Amino acid sequence: MGVRQVKEEVEFQEKVTWKLDGATLTVKGPNGELKRTFAHPVVRLTGQGGKLFVTAKDARKRDRALAGTWASHIRNMVEGAAKDHAYTMKIVYSHFPIKATAHEGEFVIENFLGEQSPRRAAIVGKTKVMVAGDKVTVTGPDLEAVSATAANIEQGTRIRGFDPRVFQDGIYITVKGE
C-alpha cells in the first residue's frame, strides 16, 4: 500500500491571528483568545509562510479522519475569535410556569413541573446565558463550551417517570448558530 499524506490548510479571517507553541495553538481575535492543545504522534500542526496546516505523513484511515477533525476544530476557534457562537432555546410549559435564571456559573430552573427544589445546570467556560421571557440565548467564543452549556440546560429539564409525549415541559434547543 502506498504512503498516504494529508495536508489541510486552515483559512483565517481578517483580524484573527494565530500562534503555535509546540502542540498548543492560540487563536486571537476581536472577540477574545482561545487556546487548545493538539497532540498526536502522527498528526501535526505546521505553520508555513503565515498559513496553518494540519499534516499527517504515512497516515492510516483513522489518522486522516483525525486531521480533518482538527481542521474543523481550528475553524471553529477562528470563527469564535471573530464573533460569538450562539444557541437559542425555548422554555416550554403547559401548567406550571418555569422560572429560569442564570448567575455565577450556573443556570437555575425553578418550579419545573411544580417541583419544590430547583434544578441546576452548569455554565461551561466563558459562556454567557441570557433569559428573556420564554427565550434563552447561550453565547460565547468557544463552540464546545456553548454547546455543552446548552446541552446541560436541556438535560436539566429531562423528565423521568412521565410520558414525554404527554408532558412536553422543558427547555429545548431551537436554533444552533445565528
3-state SS class at 58: coil
C-alpha–C-alpha distance, residues 3 and 60, integer Å: 9
Q: Residue 109 in contact with residue 118, Cβ under 8 Å?
A: yes
3-state SS class at 171: strand
Q: What is the pLDDT of residue 7?
A: 86
DSSP annotation string for 151-164: HHHHHHT---SS-T
Q: Residue 167 in contact with residue 113, Cβ under 8 Å?
A: yes
Q: Which domains does the chain have, with CATH numbers?
A: 6-82 (3.90.930.12), 85-176 (3.90.930.12)
C-alpha–C-alpha distance, residues 119 and 107, integer Å: 8
Q: Residue 154 in contact with residue 171, Cβ under 8 Å?
A: yes
Write out the three cell numbers for 56.
499527517
C-alpha–C-alpha distance, residues 178 and 176, integer Å: 7
C-alpha–C-alpha distance, residues 94 and 113, integer Å: 9
What is the CA 158 to chain-centroid distance, rounded? 20
Q: What is the pLDDT of residue 58?
A: 82
Q: pLDDT tens, position by position, for the chain (178 residues)?
A: 555 788 888 888 888 999 999 899 999 999 999 999 999 998 999 888 778 999 988 888 899 899 999 999 999 999 999 999 999 999 999 989 999 999 889 999 999 989 999 999 999 999 999 999 999 999 999 999 999 999 999 999 998 888 888 889 999 999 998 6
Write out the three cell numbers for 149.
452549556
The pTM (predicted TM-score) of the whole model is 0.88
3-state SS class at 136: strand
Q: What is the pLDDT of residue 79?
A: 93
